[in-house]
Homo-oligomer: A and B are copies of this chain.
Amino acid sequence: MPAHADHLTIAELAARSGAAPSALRYYEELGLIAASRTAGNQRRYARHMLRRVAFVKAGRQLGLSLRDIKLALDKLPANKAPTRADWSRAARTWQAGIEARIAELERMSATLSSCIGCGCLSLRRCALYNPDDEAASLGPGARWLLGDDPPG
């Protein structure tokens, strides 16, 4: 079952991408990748599909849903090998998101370590040792730890 010239069988694509065959079929079902078919209805993948699968895995690693990944993939040509510029555009889609996520984690990390390091002197900002009544006074309460702004 070695691949003919420039096409990969599903097992080959699976082996090289690190995604299971069942996952690849699922991705196809969702429209993230595509395959041509042999006379006998078996999938054959163009080599550039490998890159699409890598892109999917990268996105998953970033915590993106397949739906979001598809949005990025939809911007590049489906049936011919994307150019370097195509991939650049797709990758750029994610830069802002990654940076935002990093900033969020750093904020979280700072919040947690201020609780740890300072003995919680800054009660107004300490989500975990914030007196309940103070948290309650903010309305929905303690929500600001989770994305909203702290109260001042």
Contact = CB atoms under 8 A, between A and B. Distances in A.
A16 B130 CA distance: 13
A145 B112 CA distance: 30
Copies of this chain, whole number: 2
A13 to B, nearest CB: 9
A66 interface: no
A132 interface: yes
Majority secondary structure, A binding face: helix
A27 interface: no
Given A57-B142, A61-B104, A95-B112, 6 more contacts: A16-B132, A17-B142, A54-B130, A87-B128, A91-B115, A91-B116
7 contacts: A15-B140, A51-B132, A61-B104, A61-B145, A62-B105, A91-B112, A95-B113
